[in-house]
Structure 1
C-alpha cells in the first residue's frame, strides 16, 4: 500500500474530490438556511415589532440581499455539481434541476414581484399601501411572492436531503 492511501478510512476519497460533497452541502445549507431564517423568522418578527412601513422597508432590503445570495449560491452549486465526479450523471442532473428551480423562484420574486410591489408602495404614498386603492393588487403580489418563497424553501430542503 502506498503512503498516500495509508491513513484513509474506508470510503474516504483523498484530495479535492473528497471536499466537493462537503462544499456542495455547505453551500446548499447556507442558501436554504438563509431562506428559512428570513422567511420564517426575520420577516414575521419585523412585522411584529416594527410598524408596517418600516418592516416593509427592512424586509425589502433583506429580500434583495437574499436574492443576491441565491444567485451566488446557485452559481457556486452549479459549478460544484459540474466538477463533481463522485456523482452519477442522472443524480447530478437531478440536483442541477433542483438548483435551477430554486434560482427560478428567487428570480421570479426578485425581478418580477419585488419591483412591482415597491412601485405600488411608492404610489400609495405616506398613508401606506393598506390605505390605498393599490392594496388588493399589492396583497395578491405579496401572496404570490410568499408561495414562491415557500416553494424555494421546500426545494432547498429537498436539495439538502438529496445531497447527503
Structure 2
C-alpha cells in the first residue's frame, strides 16, 4: 500500500462513498426539510445526485482499472472488484434509466408539481426504486471502505 496509485485509491473511495453518503443522507433530506418549496428542493437534490453520479463513473473507472492492473485476473475473484462493479451498474441505471423516467414524469405534470398530478403514483414508485438502488450502492460503499486496504 505504499505505491501512489494505492494511496489514490483511498482518496477515490473517500470521495465517492463520502459524496454518496453526504448528499443522499444529509444534504438531500436537509433540503426537503429546510426549503419551503419541495419542487426547488427536488431540483437542487437532483443536480447534486447528478454530480455524485459523475463522481461515481470516474471513481469506478479508476478503481476497476487499478484493481485489474494490480491483481490481474485475480481481481475478478475479489469482493472489492465486484462491489465497485455493482455500484457502477447501479449508478448507470439510476442516472441513465431511472432519473430520465422521473424527469419525464415531472415534465408531463408541468406546470403542476408532479406530486399533485396524475403521475404522482408512478413518480413515487420510481422514486422508491431509485431510493432502494441508492441504499444498496451506499451499503456497497461500506464494503469498499472496509476492503480498501486488502
Decide: shared fold, TM above 0.5: yes
- Aligned length in residues: 148
**Displacement after TM superposition at 1:94 (Å):** 2.7
Task: Say whether residues 1:83 and 2:69 are aligned partners.
Answer: yes
Which deviates further from its counterpart, 31-40 or 18-27? 18-27
Aligned to 2:82: 97
Task: Say whether residues 1:114 and 2:99 are aligned partners.
Answer: yes
CA gap 1:31/1:65 in 2 versus in 1, 3 angstroms: same
Asked if structure 2 preserves the Cα contact closer than 8 Å seen for 1:43 and 1:59, the reply is yes
Partner Cα separation in structure 1 for residue 133 and residue 110 of structure 2: 27
Partner Cα separation in structure 2 for residue 126 and residue 160 of structure 1: 43
Q: Which has the higher helix share?
A: 2
**Displacement after TM superposition at 1:19 (Å):** 2.5
**Displacement after TM superposition at 1:82 (Å):** 2.0
Partner Cα separation in structure 2 for residue 102 and residue 135 of structure 1: 28
**Displacement after TM superposition at 1:84 (Å):** 1.7
Alignment partner for residue 160 of structure 1, among 137, 142, 145?
145
Structure 2 gap segments, 5+ residues each:
none
Alignment partner for residue 74 of structure 1, among 47, 60, 66?
60
**Displacement after TM superposition at 1:123 (Å):** 0.9
Give me the TM-score of the superposition, normalised by structure 1.
0.83
Larger-Rg structure: 1
Task: Say whether residues 1:55 and 2:32 are aligned partners.
Answer: no
Asked if structure 2 preserves the Cα contact closer than 8 Å seen for 1:20 and 1:84, the reply is no
Structure 1 gap segments, 5+ residues each:
1-11
Give me the TM-score of the superposition, normalised by structure 2.
0.90
Partner Cα separation in structure 2 for residue 90 and residue 126 of structure 1: 50
Query: After TM superposition, where is structure 1 displaced by more than 4 Å over at least 4 residues in a row?
Result: none
Asked if structure 2 preserves the Cα contact closer than 8 Å seen for 1:34 and 1:66, the reply is yes
